Amino acid sequence: MCELIQVTRSSMPKFEEYIEEIKELWESHWLTNMGIKHEQLKTALSCYLGVPNISLFTNGHLALEYVIEAFDLSGQVITSPFTFVSTTHAIVRNGLEPVFCDINPENFTIDTDRIEELITEKTTAIIPVHVYGNICNVREIARIARKYHLKVIYDAAHAFGVTLNGTGVADFGDASMFSFHATKVFNTIEGGAVAFQNDELKYLLESLGNFGITGQDTVAHIGGNAKMNEFQAAMGICNLRHVDEEIEKRKAVVERYVERLRGVKGIKLNSLQDGVESNYAYFPVFFDGFQVDRDEIHAALLKENIVARKYFYPLTNDFECYRKQFNCEDTPVAKYFADKVLTLPLYADLDLKDVDRICNIILRR
């Protein structure tokens, strides 16, 4: 039996590089609460992502929960169900009502032709997702937001380092959330960030993530605890040094998959968007009219010790905790792709021979 191939494998620096990075912590004994590594990573990320304002969090989900809270929204928020369940949970856990908009079949992001029909007097924001690192129709979303005075918060968990015509993805909307979870293109073990436009948001956002503390003897907000610690930040500093190489290696893997699977009847691939510099975060394949269906391919790969994942199936509006309240038939395009998708293993060190082996299993029928 061949060695287990997981859908992803975390990027890690050399052991010695990380040890060198954390040595200082044994001298300072400062392990969390905006320490030296935290500040260093923040500066490095502002520069890498090309954003003036960035706040770090202990994970991406809490980053999203806190940024939604910071905008003090009420009522309804328009979002899409073809995403990780975190996006929907962050809205609901803020006491807001998600209104599910369908996705477009070109790049699986929110269908901007359907947003306006969902807007009511209760709508206060749009929370779209840059699915697989594909950039949403940001111009159209900005137009709609301006017309109806809505906030726009992007779930950019998949889109670290992606650019559109040279502009970093964090530049769009009022704010963007990034996830630095171990499985993402760039990781801090667990971690996340919010990049945002309005300088004044900084104090509120960072205070909310630190118990609402605003001064030595003052607590102005009912906050929680979502701080990134020094060991996470040190991992980020190391990984950021190598992220461009990692993305280049991912690109080679993706190119091999495309070479083998492009043009096969019944297989639809995610196409790169014009003007977008991708980070090659995921390799989704849609089995539509192929000899066998998605679940059979999933099982055939598993039999050979290869783990592919159904991102995103089920839709978030179809999970047990939401099913009674929402109907996934209301978003038929999202439902259609959720039933057909399989994301294949993809990570920087995935051997091209293994890519061939995976493609052979898919194509041997």
What is the contact surface with ligand PLP in residues (CB under 6 A)? Answer: 59-61, 83-84, 86-87, 129, 155, 157-158, 179, 181, 192
Query: Three-state secondary structure along 83-139?
Result: CCHHHHHHHHCCCCEEEECCECCCCCCECCCCCHHHCCCCEEEEECECHHHCCCCHH
Least distance to ligand PLP, CB of residue 58, Å: 9
Closest distance to ligand PLP from the beta carbon of 160 (Å): 11
Residue 151 Cβ vs ligand PLP, minimum distance, rounded to whole Å? 18
Which helix (H) or strand (E) is 244 found in, with range?
Answer: helix 230-261
Angle at which helices 36-49 and 15-28 pack, to 10 degrees? 130
Nearer to ligand PLP, 233 or 261 (CB): 233
Residue 125 vs residues 173, 222, 275, 291: alpha-carbon distances, Å: 11, 22, 27, 42
Residue nearest ligand PLP, CB atom distance: 60
C-beta of 179 vs 359, nearer to ligand PLP? 179
Closer of 156 and 328 to ligand PLP (Cβ)? 156
Query: In angstroms, what is the minimal distance from the CB of 89 to ligand PLP?
Result: 9
Token pair listed for 284: 């989704």
Closest contact distance (angstroms) between CB of 266 and ligand PLP is 27
Nearer to ligand PLP, 13 or 133 (CB): 133
Distance CA 282, CA 253 (A): 11
Both tokens of residue 51?
């954003």
Minimum Å gap between C-beta 127 and ligand PLP is 10
Please choose, from the candidates 131, 243, 129, the residue with its C-alpha nearest in 3D space to the C-alpha of residue 186: 243
Q: Which two tokens stand for residue 94?
A: 């803020």
Give dist(CA 160, CA 165) in Å, integer.
15
- Of 188 and 261, nearer to ligand PLP (C-beta) is 188
**Shortest reach from residue 48's CB to ligand PLP, in Å:** 18
Two tokens, residue 365: 């029928």
Cα–Cα distance measured from residue 75 to residue 280, given in angstroms and rounded to the nearest whole number: 36
Which residue's CB is nearer to ligand PLP, number 177 or number 285?
Answer: 177
Rank residues 93 and 260 by Cβ distance to ligand PLP and give the closer one.
93
How many residues belong to the chain?
365
